[in-house]
Copies of this chain bind each other. A is one copy, B any other.
Amino acid sequence: MRDAYLIGAGQTAFGAFPERSYRELFAEAYEHACERVDGGIEQTDIDEAVVGSLGVGGRQLGLSGPAVTEHVGLHNVPCTRVENACAAGGFAVRQAVQAIRSGMADVVLASGFEVMSDMSGDVTKYWLGVSGETEWERLTGTTFSGVYAQMASAYLDRYDATPEDLSRVAVKNHGNGAKNPKAHLGFECSLDDAVAAPEVAAPLNLYHCCPTSDGAAVAILASEDVVDNYTDERIRVAGVGAASDHVGLAERDSYLGLSATETAAETAYDRAGVDPDDLDFAEVHDCFAIAELLAYEDLGFCERGEAPQLLREGVTDPDGDLPVNTSGGLKSKGHPIGATGTGQVVEVFDQFTGRAGDRQLAEPRYGLTHNVGGSGGATAIHVFENEEVSG
């Protein structure tokens, strides 16, 4: 089984760009990623492309993968669109790794895009519940924030946690996002502001919910056989894990964690030969504040019920033991659905190659990305290792 290496990654700014087409966004991210391959890369070097997109934006309705890759001149290589709701990008990365490990490709584009700001009323209405379960959640009136609100209610009821703990996620992630020039909501917020925000779906308020964004992100992966041709960096995909779960909350055993994340993390850690303690940073899927708390526990950063303590103690702050969402996360950097998972990989690339500016961590060796579809119906997790940094 050949290893896959991350040789370049780039993205557009995330935000509201109703005047820009999805193809234009994709092209910008693609060019950004190519520019950042140290030794340069030719279009003809790319053997395959995987494109993640939810595709609710009503553009190219079928074949949206080939529709964006042809726009950058890649109108010949195998191109597959993958969709696992908000985890489309993470699964695109996983598929790119499989393509390389299979021996069927040496250089693969893992990418994602979404346009969320320029949608018709109907599509927006759909979107509010699109990533939850359709028949028993959306069609009965449950919004997507309502789904996560149920998890937040269960969590606050069960553990020593308060809405203020949820707000700490916003304060931390906005603090990080304010240092990220690509962030959609790149401003700081105080704990007071985050606590006082208007209610969306109790107990979740506005600052407990991420925006949805327009944007695109592209990661370029290469096999161990050819990585030398492109870069001296050695960013290895050390572990990959993925799992699915019941799409609807009501079918699950518990609202206090996502079993897909637990299963995927176990696989990814096992394949990478690491423990959560080995991680130097993580990008986790904080679509709602409660999701970041659950992620800490599902990913083994702490025991059940201890996530608020990590936030209160600053463990996941940029200067803490395990910085989480240095990019700003979905909350501040933004959430262009299909591009979110590959966007997380851009932060990994930035951190490992000293491109993270004011967010730069000191010589990280292991970084994790955690991308969730729906309310946990599918999760993709990757552990990346910077082989230049010794343990």
Taking Cβ atoms with an 8 Å cutoff, the residues of A that contact B are 1, 49, 54-56, 59-67, 69-70, 74-86, 91, 94-95, 97-104, 126, 130-131, 133-135, 138, 240, 242-247, 251, 259-260, 263-264, 373-374, 377-378, 380
Contacts and interface: CB of A to CB of B under 8 A. Distances in A.
A80 B70 contact: no
Classify the secondary structure of A's interface with B. mixed
A383 to B, nearest CB: 14
**Lowest 9 CB-CB distances: which A-B pairs, in order?**
A62-B85, A101-B102, A78-B242, A1-B103, A79-B244, A66-B244, A98-B102, A61-B130, A102-B102
A246 B98 contact: no
Contacts of A378: 63, 65-66, 78-80
Nearest to A65: B84
Contacts of A134: 59-61, 67
A344 to B, nearest CB: 17
Nearest to A101: B102
Contacts of A126: 61
A222 B251 CA distance: 30
Given A97-B102, A242-B78, A247-B66, A133 B83 contact: no
A69 B244 contact: yes
A380 B373 CA distance: 27
Contacts of A54: 62
A382 to B, nearest CB: 13
18 contacts: A1-B103, A54-B62, A55-B83, A56-B62, A62-B86, A65-B378, A66-B244, A66-B374, A70-B245, A70-B247, A70-B251, A74-B244, A76-B243, A76-B263, A78-B242, A82-B82, A101-B103, A101-B104
Contacts of A60: 133-135, 247
A204 to B, nearest CB: 20
Contacts of A78: 94, 242-244, 264, 378, 380
